[in-house]
Structure 1
Amino acid sequence: MHARMIKAAGLALSLLWAGAVNATEVRLSAPTAGDDLQDDLRAASLAIAANEEKATKPQDLLAAARADYAQLIGVLYAMGYYSPVINILVDGREAASIPPFATPKTIDKIRLKVTPGPKFKFSQARVAPLANSTVLPEGFAVGEPAKSTLIQEAAQAGVSGYRDVGFAKARIAGQNITADHRARTLAADIQLDPGRRLQFGDLIITSESRVREKRIREIAGLPSGETFSPEELEDAASRLRRSGAFRSVALLEAETPNADDTLDIEAALVDEKKRRFGFGAEVSSLEGLGVSAYWMHRNLLGGAERLRIEGEVKGIAGDSGGVDYRLGATITRPATFDEDTRLLVLGELEELDEPDFFERKATVGASLFRQFSDVLEVGAGVRFRYSEVRDDLGERTFTHLTIPVTAAWDRRNNPLNPVGGFYLQATGEPFVGVSGSQSGARVYADARAYEGLGADDRFVVAGRLQFGSVIGAEIVDVPPDMLFFSGGGGTVRGQPYQSLNVDLPSGDSTGGRAFLGASAEVRVGVTDSISVVGFADAGFIGADSWPGDNGAWHSGAGLGLRYETGIGPIRLDVATPIGGATGDGIHIYVGIGQAF
């Protein structure tokens, strides 16, 4: 019993000792500094950070306190204070005076006392010589607050200005920075050495790759012989990344230019795994379960050709028609004809058992896509499609040659979970009837916008508009899958899948030639990984090619949850109809990724 009491007492003393160590008090005092400057000082303090992270070892706290002199001076210089007084007291002793090998056994209090002193202004702000197109930071001027960050930015702007016009080895040759404490001014004089104007030399592959060197150079599209440009260099790296064949891409400038004023570029590449397999799933209370899977080869023929085989089954155990099947294969070849154009060849078989029709179709085709920038891509191609249809109008066959033209402009800050920016996509697809099928054109556009509000974009407002039209052919002469329906997860949540269509004079129903869709969401972050969502959707289907009186609207609204996984949020939406006569009840949707 006595031994147990001793052990218990020892444990209690240990806990008290740990609590005492964790109770170290760290406080910053800067009464003459504004609130923003005090916040910056606290954020920069290693001692405050160590204490918040429950650092318990005195040597760790002392090391952090000693490092804080430089940390705090850096913040003050960045804001233009060049005569500060900083005292860091560890239990009343200046931290700088405590020998590193004489660390106290305990530390109770750390006081950070900061007197910023006066704010200095520039008496001289000069970077020379400058390239003609160089733009220096706006605040780098005589009479403005002499922030050290502005000096760094001005020097970098001077170097970048020369690099932008071909002087790849421009550098800072010297600097003279003098503080006049009596006048409270700072003189900054930066001297630049532009070096020689250079041209791109060879692209030298410095690492092994399964992609052939010739194809690597074709994909990169480095403009050898043309004037050096950082933008062109980044474009070459982006093309290699977009190919999907490489896990990492680094294009490095050679240390020394060649005698002929060219500069070689070294490419350090790491291949991605040759093959990849993936799958997904989505479930709705009405539409049932949908599952998809794909298999991909990233370097099929040694030239970064990508083969992707994918399959999808939708409508399992659903109440919206039967089960849909799709099996497709695509081959994508980057750098076809030039470095910014990729070739896509596809083949697809599909069976659609929808509420208003049953269709089997086969499609083959090829398209070229031109990348005009990191955010803008335009494509055009030709496809041949054959379909067999059974619906209210009877059994029919359609054979069409189509010419799809597409454009996508993606300015979202994160395609998987955007909190800012926009996305625009438009497709025009003229179709030529073969073997008696009618000709016409199908148009579709999708516009989405996102705006983050509040601290860390806790609130996100998202909106979407969709438009579709079939021109030049009557409804009965167009395959149902080229017409438009509304209702379900992709259009109006809360309404039954494809429940809004067109009633023909004969009493039959089919898709419409005109479609409008609108969606709005407010996403509110509850934690770093959980968000709640309120949403409303509306859709219009019309019999004519353009929206008008010959059509109808319906709408739905609901609430949802999102759980962020790092590869996109898991989505749960619960919705109900709020307008129209196409449905009732509660509908549940579960999937991966935002609704739009």
Structure 2
Amino acid sequence: MTRRNVQGVRVRVRFEFGVPFRDRFVASRCSRLLLAGVVFGIAALGSAAPASAINIFGLKLFESDKDPNEGVIDPIRYSVTLSVMPADKDLQDTLEKASSLVANEDNPVSGSLGLLSQAKTDQKRLVAALYENARYDGIVTILIEGKDIATLAPDATFDTSRPVPVQVIVEPGQVFTIGRVEITANGVPVNPSTYDLASGSNAASTRVLEQESNLLEALRNEGRPFVAITRRDVVADSATAKLDYRLAVSPGGQVPYGDIFVDGTKDVDPGFVAYMTGIEKGKVFSPAELKKARDRLVKLDVFSSVNVREGKEQMADGTLPVQVEVAERKFNFFGIGGTYSNTDGAGVSGYIGNRNLFGRAESLRLDASVSRIGATALSSDTVRDTSDIDYKASLVFKKPGVLGPDSVYVGSIEAVSEHPLAYDRNSIAGTSGVQYAIDDVQSVDARIRLEYEAIRDYLGDQDYFIASVPIAYTYDSRDNKLNPTQGFLGKLLAEPSYEIRGGVPFLRARADASTYVSVTDNDRFIVAGRVAYGSVFGADRDDVPNDRRFYAGGGGSVRGYQFQTIGPFFPDELGPTGDESFNDTPRGGRSLFEANLEFRIGVTENIQIVPFVDAGTVGDELVPDFGNFKLGYGIGARYLTSFGPIRVDVGFPAQPSSRDESFQIYAGIGQAF
């Protein structure tokens, strides 16, 4: 196909869509490849990526040795070259990615007809790619064995004794900009600048389509479900390199919600499903409300798929029905997990539960864990024997919808027997409260907690019977909860507490903030940071139960140091009880500060190398003792899976004391923070 320049001739290509639907096409020889009716629609064509073998740590598993010719009738091979004239490397890279001939060069096609068909399809794809780059008078010529495919008969045959040569020649033409723009809604003009379609701006088809979609979405967000395009007129003028654009829209009226219809439930109450959408009859239609309704149903954790959409037409009373389609998942579940540290030993955990006890997404979950298996003493300079095994069990009941669709009642019972370096503790606790989602990123959690605990430390044995009201606020804008690449996570916790049998009241408060920034477009370099600050108000340190004091050190705190080893210690001498095993053990503090910085560097699609620096301190007063600031550093590895990163970290203490090992190893599932 060739293009001839005609002096003084103004080339205009017009595309019109109307009601009733019709296409009108006027073109010169210079623009024969501009496709009527699909100047923008063809830009939506995608390319299929070939399947590949599973690749783990660079090893290909389950790779097939299947002959690529197998199953292909009359297989023939071809070789393809794609050139852009004049040369433009960036554009050539873009076109090669769009070309199915280039992508499938290693795969045989079915006969000469198959090759010719693929070439004609590729021509359309490449024209669409030019439109996506605002080039509306480009020419794409494809030659097979030196012959233009436009001149080849459908039954043409090629010499298949060697790969058939295919040439793709692209003359990209000019880069177009937006010319005249006219947008109306029910005849009322709409300012094009509102949708970034001002004259002189880039005329890429994908960009114009995106702004058109934004206009329609804005009208739908006003409560108009039946927005329709009544006319679209796009004119590409080669003489001026301008794209004139006219759009007429019928917005329709605002429509209130009507009845909610639920399909797909078997064991879940459909009336409960309708209630949990949060959609109120009579309220004006909103796409955002439909999305939020779907999110609410997904959070119930009883459905494998959820679809919430408006009806196709209004009911007789003028309302808009809502259709909810769900598929139930298996309600019974179980799982296991594990952790490891070279000093804290190994840990195993398991859980079992049901997601739909009484038909309204009520859940019951039993968790149990055993940890510190094979734990060792801190060092030869520490007398404390920390080899006792820790046990923990909890039973949690949740009932959604108790105070509206965004609320969940939570009740729990928990029993703990633990033996960290600082103390021995046995406890049983019960909680009752409500979680409430304020919006997509904010939530609050308020509960009443009663706990009985028996604690033994350097000062002796002490029993506590504590009533508290933990209140937590969370702001979570992370893009991925298991492996965030951007966003922010902030938590505020305040827990007023009272020892019922004559103790003093106190308030434990803590704030945590984490942020995540992707430095590269492909999320291969993530900078992650975290800070935490906490204080205990209203009581002296020794009047606060040991487990409610602050400690630092360990895998979730300052790596390189063992858990609880940053902060004040009891003296290295016999205490009031005469139990020397508690000599020189952590005492805990009333205040805490921690900071962490990680660089999560992706070396492959699934493997990250993570250098890190941690810092922390614990003090006796409301403000931590920054004079005893401890630094840790190290490096870790992550293997990214669908259920979260598998993590291994090696941490080193920058300011080791006689209590510290030369390094610490931590392993588990999930990022460090």
Fold equivalence (TM over 0.5): yes
Alignment partner of 1:457: what SS?
coil
The residue correspondences of 1:121-270 to structure 2 (distance < 5 A) are 121-129=177-185, 138-270=195-327
| Deviation at residue 58 of structure 1 after TM alignment | 5.5
Cα drift, residue 222 of structure 1: 0.9
Q: Does the alignment pair 1:502 with 2:568?
A: yes
Q: Which residue of 2 aligns with 1:588?
A: 665
Amino acid at match of 2:647: R
1:569 partnered with 2:645: yes
Paired AA for residue 545 in structure 1: L
1:109 aligns with 2:185: no
Q: Tell me, what secondary structure is at the counterpart of 2:533?
A: strand
User: Is residue 471 of structure 2 the alignment partner of residue 414 of structure 1?
Assistant: no
Change in Cα spacing, 1:93 to 1:316, as seen in structure 2 (3 Å) is same
**Corresponding position of 2:122:** 68
Partner deviation per Cα, 1:485-514 (whole Å, 9 max, x = no partner): 122212122112222232357787521111
| Distance (Å, rounded) in 1 between the aligned partners of 2:152 and 2:352 | 63
Question: Number of matched residues?
Answer: 577
Alignment of 1:31-46 (within 5 A): 31-32=85-86, 34-46=88-100
Matched, 1:437 2:528: no
Displacement of 1:418: 1.6
Of 364, 369, 373, which residue of structure 2 is paired with 1:312?
369
SS of the aligned residue for 2:175 comes to: coil
The C-alpha deviation readout for 1:524-577, integer Å capped at 9, x for no partner, is 21211122121122220111122136x733222212121122211211112221
CA 1:289–1:220 in 2, change beyond 3 Å: closer, same or farther? same
Distance 1:132 1:336 in 2: 48
Show the counterpart of 2:137: 83
Structure 1 SS opposite 2:522: helix
Counterpart for residue 11 of structure 1: none
Q: Is the 8 A contact 1:574 1:587 kept in 2?
A: yes
Distance 1:187 1:501 in 2: 70
- 1:325 maps to what in 2? 391
- Cα distance change of structure 1 residues 411 and 91 upon mapping to structure 2, 3 Å threshold: same
Whole-angstrom distance in 2 between the partners of 1:358 and 1:23: 74
Mapping for residues 447-486 of structure 1, pairs under 5 Å: 447-454=513-520, 456-486=522-552
Match of 1:94 among 120, 141, 148: 148
Report the Cα offset of residue 146 of structure 1. Answer: 2.8
Partner Cα separation in structure 1 for residue 181 and residue 158 of structure 2: 47
Q: Which amino acid aligns with 1:421?
A: G
Q: Structure 1 residues 528, 55: closer, same or farther in 2, change over 3 A?
A: farther
Residue type of the partner of 2:181? Answer: A
Match of 1:557 among 628, 633, 638: 633
How far the C-alpha of 1:254 sits from its partner, in A, is 1.1
Give the superposition deviation at 1:55.
4.2
- 1:524 equivalent to 2:601? Answer yes
Whole-angstrom CA distance in 2 between matches of 1:521 and 1:492: 12
| Aligned equivalents of 1:186, 1:497: Cα separation in 2 | 66
Please tell me the residue identity of whatever aligns with 1:150: R
Residues 1:25 and 2:79 are matched in the alignment: yes
1: CA distance between counterparts of 2:420 and 2:241? 78
Residues 267 and 465 (structure 1 numbering): CA distance in 2 closer, same or farther, change over 3 Å?
same
Distance 1:561 1:237 in 2: 36
Equivalent in the alignment of 1:4: none
The whole-number CA distance in structure 2 between the counterparts of 1:384 and 1:566 is 37
CA 1:46/1:497 → structure 2, altered by over 3 Å: closer, same or farther? same
Point out the more displaced range, 138-147 or 418-427: 138-147
Counterpart of 1:80, as a letter, is A
Q: Percent identity?
A: 32
* Aligned residues of 1:45 and 1:68 also touching (Cα < 8 A): yes
Contact 1:200 1:227 in 2 (8 A): yes
- Where does residue 614 of structure 2 map in the other structure? 537
C-alpha deviation, 1:246, in angstroms: 1.0
* CA deviation after TM superposition for structure 1 residue 65, in Å: 2.1
Cα distance in 2, alignment partners of residues 186 and 538 from structure 1:
58
TM-score, normalising length: structure 1: 0.91
- Quote the Cα distance in structure 2 between the aligned partners of 1:162 and 1:287: 59
Deviation larger for 452-461 or 519-528 = 452-461
